[in-house]
Chain A
Amino acid sequence: MTRTSAIFRRELSGYFTTPLAYVFIVIFLVLAGVLAFFVGNFFDRGQADLQSFFVFHPWLYLVLIPALSMRLWAEERKSGTIELFLTLPIRLSEAVIGKFLAAWCFAGIALLLTFPFWITVNVLGDPDNGMILAGYLASWLMAGAVLAIGAAVSAGTKNQVIAFVVTAALVFVLAVAGTPTVLGLLQGWAPSSVIRAVAGASLFGHFTAITRGVVDLRDLVYFLSIMVAFLAANAIIIDLKKAD
């Protein structure tokens, strides 16, 4: 536990010693604002909620989170510090979890910094704050799932650009899995169990379910199992492929 927290603290403070943290947060806040106001018609909808804000988060994460996760392991490989890191008396699980939690916590900080939106809707109207809380939870879970996928991809390469592109592609596939277009393509030839499985695997589907204000156990389990599965994959990839 103390070792995981040592890794966690090193990683988290690592974000803030480089411009990465500030660039990421600024771009995240600006894009979230621009999308909510101009594309989502935050004001014109005339409703005191944050739906038009949360609805774009999956797309934002599709682009921004891989930028955060790409360095997790690829940078250690590139600079050779992975050899130092993994010959310290730590378990591989502690290394994987410490790194992931730091990145997830950082994403949480960026998300919390969107609090002016929450203040704005509370000043302008009388929103359902429970629903907004659920929206934040959904957004944070979504970020965690994308980060876990990105961490596993980053574990397999020393090239951060490759890590970024592959993660974004994987997340895109998981994202569009539940859309009518994809399901329509499967309709007619694939067995209904496959269609149900593809629809159920959709990141956006589970995200939207929670943002509606209903925190269903199945959606929580979905996000947590994505994280656990990809973190396990992360550990296996590191273990199999340490040298190069």
Chain B
Amino acid sequence: MLEIRNLVKKFGPLTAVDDVSFSVPEGEVLGFLGPNGAGKSTTMKMITGFLAPTSGTAVICGHDIEAEPLAAKRRIGYLPEGAPAYPDMTAAEFLDFIAHIRGFHGIEARRRIAYIAELIHVGDVLHQPIETLSKGYRRRVGVAQALLHDPAVLILDEPTDGLDPNQKYEMRGIIRDLSPHKAIVISTHLLEEVEAVCSRAIIIAHGRVLADGTPAELAARSRYHNAVRLDLASDEAAGIAAELQKLPGVASVEAAADSGQATLWVFPQGGQPISDAIVRLARTQGWPVTGLYVERGHLDDVFRTITAPDATGNALRDAA
């Protein structure tokens, strides 16, 4: 549904987006991740036809955004960064304006606005000027605007930014509900959001795609993938750590003491499962274990490793 081909954007000597390609089929929610200034918004601006790419293009349902901008734009719903809207208009006037631009009139326009207002829960603020709305409502009006024409492709630049936890939860629910029949791209720097709504994630930094996979696949690249956290009641941690170190398959053991109890991190070699061996050893040795957790991996740890501008990041990228 959405195909990005070798997008490049240069601002003078600066390359903001450097050869980004990916495609998003129907039913996928793609999380676009990256530190600030990574090129997420610039990429979205090119996909939606706001900025002309230096080279490459985006194809929306078979329509090239450069060659057929109107046909492509008709199939996109876009929430720009910061959810801009005309502050003097009421939400209803604003949605009515968008409906007219999108070619809906009369009863059809009213029906769509009523439906979206119900879906996004903006019904009770429809007749307030947008400048008087809270951040959360303003963002919802922005999302409502993007959904009015039931687009095949939905591009949301930080849809939950500035929302409180309840609103975030709700917005993620809405995105999930919409996902079966749309190709959705959301940008975010909240990693829990990726795990909550995205079926796939792309990590971008310095304008380049550094990783592309399901959230679980990305998490598996964390050094915490299959690592075991061991909480111990006593202060025998040092001896236990030494025992664990000898266990086959264990790469390293790290101690982290907090609030009266000792915690050991046991990292496996090559991300292989080691919990079973640890449990058996703990039982035979009679260690005072109060908690044992297997980590699936920390997305934020992967994110930091990949996007940090040092040698490890490059090494990981090359490995990918």
Contacts and interface: CB of A to CB of B under 8 A. Distances in A.
Contact of B73 (A6, A10, A87): A87
Contacts, number: 70
B161 to A, nearest CB: 13
B227 to A, nearest CB: 43
Contacts of A91: 70
A80 B82 contact: yes
Given A7-B101, A89-B73, A242-B50, A84 B84 contact: yes
B89 A14 contact: yes
Nearest to A92: B69
A10 B80 CA distance: 20
B159 to A, nearest CB: 14
A10 B97 contact: yes
A181 interface: no
Interface magnitude class on chain B:
20 to 34
Given A17-B89, A89-B74, A242-B51, A80 B103 contact: no
Interface in B70-101: 70, 73-74, 76, 78, 80-82, 84-89, 93, 97-98, 100-101
Contacts of A81: 84-86
Contacts of B5: none
A83 B88 contact: no
Interface residues of A, number: 23
A222 to B, nearest CB: 34
Interface string A1-35: 01100110110011001100000000000000000
Interface in A150-178: none
B172 interface: no
Given A84-B145, A243-B51, A79 B101 contact: no
Contact of B45 (A6, A83, A89): A83
B80 A83 contact: yes
Interface in A36-82: 79-81
Contact of A17 (B48, B50, B84, B88): B88
Most buried by A among B45, B48, B86, B103: B86
